[in-house]
Amino acid sequence: MYLHRLHREIAAARTSLDHVDVLVLTGGVAEHESGLRTELLEGLSHLGFVVDPRPDHGSEDRVISPPTARTRVLVVESREDLEIVYQIASSRESRRREPLCRWDCRSSGASVVLGPVR
């Protein structure tokens, strides 16, 4: 049922557009289930979406379509944690005029600072 709904919605979006440059797959299942991605794209191959036959594994943002594909297919980490930080900082700013928010990502080592950090 899950794949059927994904096929239906992506196909509906594709048929209503003149052209699609990129299909971006994100979220836990799309990021971590290469078998599901392959099955999804095989069901959409008639619309120009194809997965590269090489093994599709990894945790970084990546292109999973072959260079010859009509439409590029990307897998992108969702980064909900950054959106949460942004929403918290925006909320504080609207109430206090002094945003204060720093977030450090343990997995990537990146730091995000929104507003002055004291």
Judgement on whether residues 45 and 63 belong to the same structural domain of the protein: yes
At 99 the pLDDT is 44
Judgement on whether residues 66 and 87 belong to the same structural domain of the protein: no
Residue 55's CATH number: 3.30.420.40
Continuous segment of H or E residues that includes residue 11: helix 2-16
Judgement on whether residues 67 and 14 belong to the same structural domain of the protein: yes
Q: pLDDT tens digits for 14-50?
A: 889 888 889 999 888 888 888 888 899 999 998 888 8
Q: pLDDT tens digits for 66-99?
A: 888 888 999 988 888 888 887 887 776 655 554 4
Judgement on whether residues 66 and 8 belong to the same structural domain of the protein: yes
Judgement on whether residues 38 and 66 belong to the same structural domain of the protein: yes
Judgement on whether residues 72 and 86 belong to the same structural domain of the protein: no
Indicate left, alpha or beta for 114 from its phi (over 0: left) and psi (-120 to 50: alpha).
beta
Positive or negative CA dihedral for 25, 29, 31, 32? negative
What residues make up the domain containing 104?
80-114
Alpha helices per DSSP H over 17-105: 28-32, 34-42, 80-96
Q: Which residues of 76-100 are buried (b: 16+ CB within 10 A; e: fewer)?
A: ebeeeeeeebeeebeebeeeeeebe
Q: What angle do CA 32, 38, 44 make, to 5 degrees?
A: 125
Judgement on whether residues 106 and 63 belong to the same structural domain of the protein: no
Judgement on whether residues 72 and 85 belong to the same structural domain of the protein: no
Domain count, the chain: 2
For the whole prediction, is pTM greater than 0.75? no
Residue 118 pLDDT > 80, yes or no?
no
